A and B are shown apart, each in its own frame.
Chain A
Amino acid sequence: MQISPSGQPADPLLEVNGLTLTFGGVRALGGVGFAVQPGSITAVIGPNGAGKTSLFNTISGFYRPSAGSVYFQGADITHLPAPKRAALGLGRSFQNIALFRGLTVLDNIKLGRHAHLKTNVLDALFYMGRARREEAELRADIEARIIDFLEIDHIRHASVASLPYGLQKRVEMARALAMEPRILMLDEPVAGMNREETEDMARFILDVRAEWGVTVLMVEHDMGVVMDLSDHVVVLNFGEVIAQGPPASVQRDPEVVRAYLGSGNVGDLRKRFRSSSAQEAT
């Protein structure tokens, strides 16, 4: 796999090369490589346990890969800790909503801006000068842009723990947006949502790109959403990329069909398991 800048039409915003991740003897990712073009919506799909969330956690810095690299805006971020990556512009949401449960919606969203604030202890002690100014600016900005945009104005002072699931997902997205990300990583943004909530979320994802110019990388199971929204689809199976390309061509790919539906050929399946366990042994 080539190292950035690669031969892609534009320089990719995010590029993953030969990413390998192991937990003890279990190989979660084996040489995953793909690129996310700026301004695109890229989806990572795959059956359960294919390594999608592991991939997300490695890109955002929660897991250390045993091999491979992650390039963001042309710079190698493979060894940066997660908070530094957040400050560079990697915003993310979680599959099982990770909100600050004791705090209000507004406080949760404001924490998204944490990495960009510069207030020091003494300012805060007297709640004056920079702290007050930053706080006021931040609040105005967040209210004007993010809260209106995601239509969560009516719940801004509610405690997040009291909200229904769909709204919690939206608050989590709002927090990620408050980070002013260059790339927004959404881990199953519509999982567990009804049709109406799913359509709302799909609309938000499209609007985020259109109005904020944010590139989106998402993991999603809902094929309808993936096919409608994404420009580029990466298919993972057993921790490896088995296909990638525009949604229409990925959909027709025989490998993908086999991964999702099974080949119906038991001998083939047995061969596949054998080769993957042989790889682990080496």
Chain B
Amino acid sequence: MDWLILFEVSLTGLASGGLFALAALAFVMVYKATRVVNLAIGEMLMAGAYLFFTFAAMFALPLWFAIPAAVLASGLLGGVIERTMIRPLLGEPPISVFMVTIGLGSVLVGLVEVIWSADQRRLPDFMPTDPILVGEAFLAPKVFWGAVIATVLIAAVLMVFRFWRGGVALRATASDQAAAYSVGINVPRVFSLSWVAGAMIAAVSGIIVGSIGGISSNMGVFGLSVVVVVIVGGLDSVLGALVAGLLVGVIEALASFYLGGEFKLLATFVVLVAVLMFRPYGLFGTHEIERL
């Protein structure tokens, strides 16, 4: 056993786990506020990456402009999705909304293939390319900087939702919609806000994931691992999303290094099954038992 390699692989896993955590945060935000299981999370990531590609590579806009523009455009997309597809389903059984998000995923894939074709593409490089050394371990610069961006963004999001009253409103809405409505919280706006914020966060992780591995119309597969992260973490727990993100990141890295790339998703789903067997609410999820 080569400890340096193990360390290196784990480190890479942790770093890409940061990306899982970020994408999972986008999912949890929507789920917490609206109780919608958004299976199109991977496709929303992809949409963000393609919007960035459009602004940066096709329109050749400077990066400082292209990144915020892609994020804002994704936020707009999230808002439109909420208004046109999710809001009309308010009060419908969760399974209907769930199916709609699956449909949304294929619509987004279709749009991407129509507009940008199904070819794999490279995003313009925008992260520093000097190799990163942690002790003696080498870490790919893109992975490292991606993790840094993810960490900073997660921290910022947590700050906003801790101290901004809109964040408090979101937590209150998640807890009890009727009560939130009665104290003057505009619940429909919280719904929109959570989709907009979720789409923007997803776009950032899409841009990072895309600049590490390139973008293509089947990029949404990343969403599969994100859904595992979210379920393992417990659906409505932000802390759970972060911890499970890192866990899944490390496990995928170890599995693909020691067992081979084809074992990556297998390992992920083994973790999912194991966690669900012992903690059906996920690691940090709310136990939905009501005392009556």
Contact = CB atoms under 8 A, between A and B. Distances in A.
Interface of A: 60, 62, 81-84, 86-87, 91-92, 94, 98-103, 107, 110-112, 114-117, 119-121, 123-125, 127, 131, 175, 179
Given A100-B171, A101-B176, A92 B182 contact: yes
B126 interface: no
Contacts of A124: 159-160, 163-167
A121 B171 CA distance: 15
Given A100-B171, A103-B171, A125-B160, A117 B182 contact: no
B156 A114 contact: no
A27 B286 CA distance: 38
Contacts of B185: 83, 111, 114-115
**In the A-B complex, the 4 residue pairs with the closest CB atoms:** A115-B184, A124-B164, A86-B184, A98-B179
Given A111-B172, A119-B164, A127-B159, A99 B179 contact: yes
B163 A100 contact: no
A120 B166 CA distance: 8
A60 B185 CA distance: 13
Contacts of A62: 178, 181-182
Given A125-B156, A125-B160, A115 B167 contact: no
A64 B238 CA distance: 36
Given A81-B186, A83-B184, A111-B169, 18 more contacts: A83-B181, A86-B182, A86-B183, A94-B178, A94-B179, A98-B178, A102-B171, A102-B286, A103-B175, A112-B183, A114-B183, A114-B185, A115-B184, A121-B166, A127-B159, A175-B183, A179-B183, A179-B184
Contacts of B171: 100, 102-103
Contacts of B180: 100, 111
Contacts of B156: 125
A92 B183 CA distance: 8
B184 to A, nearest CB: 3
Q: How large is the interface on B (under 10, 10 to 19, 20 to 34, 35 or more residues)?
A: 20 to 34
Which of B167, B184, B185, B186 has most A Cβ within 10 Å? B184
B160 A98 contact: no
B168 interface: yes
A111 B175 CA distance: 12
Which of B156, B160, B179, B181 has most A Cβ within 10 Å? B179
Interface string B131-174: 00000000000000000000000001001100111111101101
Given A83-B184, A114-B165, A114-B168, A99 B176 contact: yes
Nearest to A102: B175
Contacts of B184: 83-84, 86-87, 114-116, 179
Nearest to A85: B184
Contacts of A82: 181-182
A97 B172 CA distance: 14
A167 to B, nearest CB: 15
5 contacts: A82-B181, A83-B186, A91-B183, A98-B179, A111-B180
Contacts of A127: 159, 163
B93 to A, nearest CB: 19
A280 to B, nearest CB: 25
Given A101-B175, A102-B175, A124-B167, A115 B183 contact: yes
Interface in B183-199: 183-187
Contacts of A123: 164
A111 B185 CA distance: 9
